[in-house]
Structure 1
Amino acid sequence: MALEVQQHTRDEKADPHYDNNDNPGHDLKEIKSIKQFLNEARDENKRIWYLAGPVIFTCIAQYSLGATTQVFAGHLSTLELDAVSMEDLVISGLAYGIMLGMASALETICGQANGAKQLHMLGVYMQRSWVILTLMCICLLPIYLFATPILRLFHQNEEIASLAGKFSLYMIPKLFTYGLNFRILKFLQAQSKVMTMAVVSAFALVFHLFLNWLLIIHLRLGLVGAAIALNASWWFIVFGQFSYIAMGYCPGAWNGFSRLAFKDLAEFTKLSIGSAIMMCVEFWNLVITIVVAGNLRNAQIAVGAMSICLNLFGWHNMIFLGFNASISVRISNELGAGRPRAAKFSILVVLMSSVSLAIFSFLLTLALRDVYGIPFTNNPDVADAVSSLAILFAITLFLNGIQPVLSGVAIGAGWQWLIAYVNLGSYYLIGFPLGFVLAFPLKKGVQGMWTGQLCGVGLQTAILIIITLKTNWDHEASQANSRIEKWGGSTKTPEVNSMD
C-alpha cells in the first residue's frame, strides 16, 4: 500500500504549528520519495509535540501531586506509605478511573466538533459532562465513606485498611475536583490550548510541594497535613483553569452557561459510560494488582514494593498519556474535518516517537534497577523487593509506550465501547486469572502477579494494533460527521441558548 502524506500550502509549511483545520477538504496524496516522507513526517511530528509536550508536563505535574505526597509519607513510616498508597491507588484510583474514563467521551466529541468548525458546541458539551460527572461523584461517595470495610472485604492488612480508610475521609473534597478538572482539560485540549494547562499545573505543583513541606515536615501534621495539601492543590488547578476560560480566552467555544447542557444527556451518558468502562477496566487492573499484593505473605513489604513500582509506572504513563491526548486531538480534529488519510498519517508519526521513548525507558529501568526504589522508602527489604521486579517492570514500560497511543486513536475515533470489550477480555479473562494462579497456587508472589498482568497488556496491545490496521478511515470520518449533527453541532446561534 502506498504511503500517504498531507498536502500543505507554502505558508502552512513555514509554520509547523498552524491549525490545519483552517483548510478543510485538503487530505493526503501519495508519497513519491523518501525525502518527501521525511519532510512531511517532520512537520507532523512538530504538530504532535506542540500538543504532546505541554500535555505531558501537565500530566506529570498533576500526577506528581499524589506521588510526591507518597514520597513524604514514605519517610514517616512504611505504614503511612502503605496507607497513602492504598488510598491513592485503590480508593481514589476507582474514582479517578471512572472520572478520567468518562472524560474521554468529551475528548471525542469536542475534538470532532472543533475539526468540523462547530466551536460553539464545545462549551455545551463540557457543561453536559459536568452535569453527568457531578452526579457520578455523589454516587461514588460511599467508596470513600466505607473505605475501611471495603479494604477489609478484600482481606487487606488491618493496620493498612484502618489508616487508609481514615485518610480516604479526608480526601472527599478531591473527589469532586475529578468531576470538574478532567472535563476542563479535554475542553482545552480539543482547542490545542495546552500551554494554559501546563502553566496552571506548574504553579499547582510548586504550591503543593511547599504545602507538603510546611504541613508534613515543618508542622508535623502527618496524614492530616498530606490531605490538606492534596485537596488544596487540586482545587487550585480547577479554579485556575476555569478562570482562564471564564475571562474570555476561549472565544466562540465558551459563551456562558447554556440550557443546552441539559439536552441529549442520555446519548452523552451512553458514550461516557462506554468511555468509563474502556478506561476503568484498564486502570482498575492496577488497583486489583495492589489489592492482591495485600494478601501475599509479608503484606507490608509486598504492598510497599508494588506501590513504588506502580508509582513510577504512573509517572511514566503520564508521558505517554501526553501522546494519547495529542493523537486523540489530531484524530478527532482530522475526522471531524473530513480528512481520514491525514488521521492515518498522524498515527504513524506518533508511533515512531512513542516507540523510541519506550525503548529508552526499557533500557534505563534495567540500568537503574538497584536504585530507583530508594527515594521512596527507608526499608531495605522494600527496596530489594522493588529491584527484583526490574525485568518485568521494564517490559511493562516498553508496552506502555505503544498501548496508550493506540487507546488515544480509539478515543479520537469514538471506539470506546469496542475497546472496552477488548480490555475486559485481555485483563480479566487472561491477565488477572493467570497472575492469580502464578501468585498463589504456584507461589510466585509479586513476580507471578505482575507476569499475569503483563500478558494481559501484551494481548491488549496486539489486538489494538490489528483493529487500527484494519480500520476504514473514510467510514470513520462519515461517522464523526453524523455524531456531531446528532448531538447539536448544527446549532447556528449559540447566543439564543445562553442562560446569562
Structure 2
Amino acid sequence: MVLFTSINNLANVNNGAAFRRRKLFIPPSTRQPMFKYGEDEDDRSFLSLIENGSVFEEEEDISDTASVSTSRSLPESLSSAHTNEDQESFHSWLVEEHNRRISEIEEEEDMLNANIYGHRGRRRSSITSSKYSQGWEDFMKIKTNYIHESYVLFRHATPLIITFILEHFFSIVCLIVVGKLGTDELAAVSLATMTSTITFAIFEGIATSLDTLCPQAVGARNYEMMSLYVQRCIMFSWTVFIPCGLFWWFSPYFLKYIIDNENVVHLTSTFLRILILGAPAYIFFENSKRFLQSQGIFEAGTGVLFISAPINIGLSWFLVWNSKFGLGYIGSPIATVINFWIMSILLVLYVRFIDGKKCWFGIASIKDIFSDWGQIGHLALPGVVMIESEYLAYEIMTLFASYFGTTALAAQSAVASIASIAYMVPFAVSIAASTRIANFIGGQNLAGSLISTKVAMLGALVASSTNCLILFTFRTHLAHIFTDDPKVVNLIENLLHPLVAILQIFDGIASVNSGILRAQGLQKIGGLINFIAYYAFALPLALILSKVMGYKLYGLWIGVGSGMLIIALSTFFVILFSDWDQIFMQAGLLNESDDDDDNEL
C-alpha cells in the first residue's frame, strides 16, 4: 500500500501548476527560423518577418510585426545588424524570461493557496514556492571559482563511481553463480550477458540525451520541462526496446548460425527471454537517475544499489542453488529481473520520501509525452553511437583474441574486465562534469561554464592518471584475482605494464571530453569522432598489427589505444574552439520555447 500510495502521489504532485499552458514568448533575432505557428500569414515564424535575419521589410512586414508583438511578449530591441548585438539582446531576453517564470510560479501559487487557505494563502504560498529556490543555485547569477568547482566535481563524482562499479558487479554475479553449474551454462550466461550489455548500451546512449536537456532546464529554472523530458525519454526508450525485445525472443533463430552447440543456444535464448521482463525497469532506472543527477542528487543511485546489490547476490544464490526452492539455471535471470524492479521501486520511494520531488510535476498528458520525440532522437542517436562504439570495440577485441588460443583469450578477458572497471572512474567524472556544465549553460552563465569545463578537463587528467598508476602498481595482484595459471598471469602483467595502464589516460580524457560535448549539446560531433576513430582507424589497425604483423594481444591494444588517443585529441580541440555564443543561444531557445505549435498563443 505504501508503494501504490507513493506512486499515486508522484503521479499527481503539484497539480496546481503541473504542465501549465503558458503563453509562448518569442526570442529576438537568432538568424535561425526556430518557430512556426501555423499556415496563416499572422502565424508565420518570427524570423520570417525579418529580411536576411536582421532588417524588417517595408510596411507589410511592419504591420505583421505589430500584430505579433501585440499578442506575444517581445524584447524591446527586435532588429540588430550585428551578431554581438543579437547575443546581448538574446541574453537580456533570457534574463527577463528567467525572472518572469519565477514570478509567474509564485503568482499562480498565491492564487491557488488563496483559494484553498483563504486569508492564509499569502503566507502559505511563501512556504510552497520556496521549493523553487531553497537549496537551489541560481546558475544565471552564481559566481564560482576553480576551488569550488573542483570540490563540487569531486563530491558529485564519488557516489557515481560507486554506483557504476556496483552496476558492473551484477553481470559478474551471474557468471559466478551460474558458472559452477557446468561448461554449457557458463558459456550461455556469458553470451547472454554480452548480448544484454550491448543492448542496454543503446538505452544508456538514449539516456545521455537527458545529460543535455535536464541540466540545462535546471540551469534555466524550467523545472517542469525537465519532468516532461524524462517522461518522454522513458517512453521513447520503451518504444525502441520493442524490436530489441523481439530480437531477444527470437534469438535462437540467429544464434544457431553462430553457435554449434544446441544446448548453449537454448540456454542463452532462455536467459534473454526472461530478461525481457526486466528491461523496462532497467530503462526506467537509468532515466530516473538522470532526473535526480540533474538536480545535483548523485547519491540516490548509490544508496539504491547498496540495498539492491546484496539482495541480488542472496536472491541469485537462493533461486539457483537452494535445494528446496532453487530453479537452477533460470533462477539467475529471474533474480536479475527482480533486482531491476527493486532498483526502480527504491528510486521511486527515494523521490517520494527523501529528495527530488520538487522537480516532479506529475504524469504529463499522452499528447505531451509523445510529442517532440525528434528532439530526443536528435541527441540520443549520437549518444548511442558514442557509447556503443567503445562497447563493441571491446567485444570485437575479445573475438579477435580467440584466434590466438585459450591463454590469449583468458588474458584478454581479464584485462578487458580490469579496463572496464577502471573506466567507471573517468565515466563518473564525465557524468558529474556534464551535469554541472549544462547547468551553467542553461543559466547562460559563460564564466561558470568555462571554469567548470576547465576543472572537468583537469579532473579527467587526475582520474585517468590515477587509474594508470593503480594498474601499473598492482598488476600482479589484479592478475591473480582472475586466475592462478602462470602463463595467463604473466601475459596479463605484460599487457598492463605499461601498455594498457598508459592507455587508461587517453581513454579517461576521451570519456570526460565526451561528457563536456554532451553538456554543450554536441553529441553529434562526439558520436562521429568515436565512430570514425574506432571503426575507420583503430580496429583495422588492431587487426593488421595483431594478425598480419604478429603482435597478437599487444597489437590489439595498440590499435584500439590509438583510437582512444585520436578521440581524446579530437574532442579536446572541439572543446577548445567551441562556439559558446551558439551553444548558449541553442540552449536558450531549447529551454524557453517549450510549448508546441498546438499551444494557445
What's the TM-score, normalizing by structure 1? Answer: 0.83
| Alignment-mate amino acid for residue 535 of structure 2 | Y
Shift of 1:233: 1.7
| Alignment-mate amino acid for residue 229 of structure 1 | A
Shift of 1:191: 0.6
CA–CA distance in structure 2, aligned partners of residues 20 and 342 of structure 1: 16
| Alignment-mate amino acid for residue 84 of structure 1 | V
1:429 and 2:536 aligned:
yes
Alignment check: 8 A CA contact 1:341 1:473 kept: no
Alignment check: 8 A CA contact 1:350 1:405 kept: yes
Alignment check: 8 A CA contact 1:78 1:304 kept: no
- Counterparts of 1:98-497 in structure 2, within 5 Å, are 98-147=202-251, 150=254, 153=257, 164-216=268-320, 219=323, 223-246=329-352, 249-259=355-365, 260-294=368-402, 296-298=403-405, 300-377=406-483, 382-390=488-496, 391-488=498-595
Farther-moved stretch of structure 1 (417-426 vs 345-354): 345-354
Higher relative contact order (CA 8 A, sep 6+): 1
Farther-moved stretch of structure 1 (394-403 vs 255-264): 394-403
Q: Which of 49, 53, 59 in structure 1 is aligned with 2:164?
A: 59
Is the partner of 1:256 in helix, strand or coil?
coil
Farther-moved stretch of structure 1 (278-287 vs 221-230): 221-230
Q: What is the root-mean-square deviation in Å for CA atoms of aligned residues?
A: 3.0
Q: How many residues align?
A: 462
Shift of 1:349: 1.7
CA offset digits 1:379-420 (Å, max 9, x no partner): 555444433422332123222321211111011111111111
Shift of 1:378: 6.2
| Structure 1, unaligned runs of 5 or more | 1-17, 29-39, 494-500
TM-aligned CA distance change 1:126 to 1:453, over 3 Å: same
Farther-moved stretch of structure 1 (316-325 vs 393-402): 393-402
Alignment check: 8 A CA contact 2:468 2:502 kept: yes
CA offset digits 1:70-120 (Å, max 9, x no partner): 34455666665554333323x112212210111011121011000000011
Alignment check: 8 A CA contact 2:139 2:219 kept: no
Is the partner of 1:401 in helix, strand or coil?
helix
Name the larger-Rg structure. Answer: 2
| Alignment-mate amino acid for residue 245 of structure 1 | V
Shift of 1:485: 2.7
CA–CA distance in structure 2, aligned partners of residues 142 and 301 of structure 1: 36
TM-aligned CA distance change 1:248 to 1:349, over 3 Å: closer
Farther-moved stretch of structure 1 (266-275 vs 418-427): 266-275
| Alignment-mate amino acid for residue 123 of structure 1 | S
Name 1:15's counterpart in structure 2: none
TM-aligned CA distance change 1:418 to 1:268, over 3 Å: same
TM-aligned CA distance change 1:491 to 1:256, over 3 Å: farther
CA–CA distance in structure 2, aligned partners of residues 311 and 105 of structure 1: 27
TM-aligned CA distance change 1:434 to 1:472, over 3 Å: same
CA–CA distance in structure 2, aligned partners of residues 88 and 82 of structure 1: 10
CA offset digits 1:142-171 (Å, max 9, x no partner): 442354564565679988666544433343
| Structure 2, unaligned runs of 5 or more | 1-133
CA–CA distance in structure 2, aligned partners of residues 304 and 250 of structure 1: 44
Alignment check: 8 A CA contact 1:75 1:376 kept: no
CA–CA distance in structure 2, aligned partners of residues 204 and 367 of structure 1: 32
CA–CA distance in structure 2, aligned partners of residues 469 and 97 of structure 1: 28
TM-aligned CA distance change 1:277 to 1:156, over 3 Å: farther
CA–CA distance in structure 2, aligned partners of residues 305 and 81 of structure 1: 17
Alignment check: 8 A CA contact 2:139 2:440 kept: no
| Alignment-mate amino acid for residue 375 of structure 2 | E
Alignment check: 8 A CA contact 2:319 2:327 kept: yes
1:50 and 2:50 aligned:
no
CA–CA distance in structure 1, aligned partners of residues 450 and 182 of structure 2: 50
CA–CA distance in structure 1, aligned partners of residues 599 and 221 of structure 2: 11
Shift of 1:480: 0.8
Shift of 1:375: 2.8
TM-aligned CA distance change 1:320 to 1:368, over 3 Å: same
Alignment check: 8 A CA contact 2:320 2:332 kept: yes
CA–CA distance in structure 1, aligned partners of residues 424 and 550 of structure 2: 32
| Alignment-mate amino acid for residue 54 of structure 1 | P
